[in-house]
Structure 1
Amino acid sequence: MNAHAERVIRTIRAGCTDRLLIYNEQHLRHVLTEYAEHYNTGRPHRALQLRAPSDDPDVIPFPAHRIQRHNILGGLIHEYRQAT
C-alpha cells in the first residue's frame, strides 16, 4: 500500500503542486479537488487507447473541426475539446 500512496503523491506533486504557490489550506483543497477531477475524467489513459474516461466512444479521437482549449487550474493544465 505504501508504494501506491507514494506513487499518487509523486504524481500530484509533479503534475500540480510543484508548479503552484499554495497560500492556505482552502486553496490547497480547491487545487487538489480540481486536479483529481481532471486526473480521473479528462486525462488520457493508456488502458483506454489514450482516450479519457469521459470521452464519448463515438467521437473520432482527432476531430477535423476546430478545437477549443479549456484551462484547468488557471492554465497549468490544458484540456482540448471540439468547438461547437
Structure 2
Amino acid sequence: MSRFTMVCWSAGLAAALLGTTPAQAGYYIIRWDNSGICQVWSEAFFKPIPWPSGYQVVSRPLPTFSEAVTRQVTLRRQGRCTL
C-alpha cells in the first residue's frame, strides 16, 4: 500500500507543478484589407475567417491585451490603420 501511496503522491505533485505554469495567451493586431481597420485578436480563439475580406497580421504577438491595444493606437497614429 505504501508504494501505491507514493505513486499517487508523485503523480499529484507532478500534476500540480505542470498545472501552475501560467498560460501565455498571445494577442496580435490584424488589419482588414477592404476597410483598413485594425483589430486586436487573441491566439486563444480561432483565427478570423477571411470573409468577405482578407486580413494581414501587422504586429508580432504581444503578451497582454493592454500592450496590444497600445500597439493598435500607435498604428492608428502612424496612419497604418483607419480605426
Identify whether the pair has TM-score above 0.5, normalized to the shorter chain.
no
TM-score normalized with structure 2 length: 0.29
Higher relative contact order (Cα pairs below 8 Å, separated by 6+ residues): 2
TM-score normalized with structure 1 length: 0.29
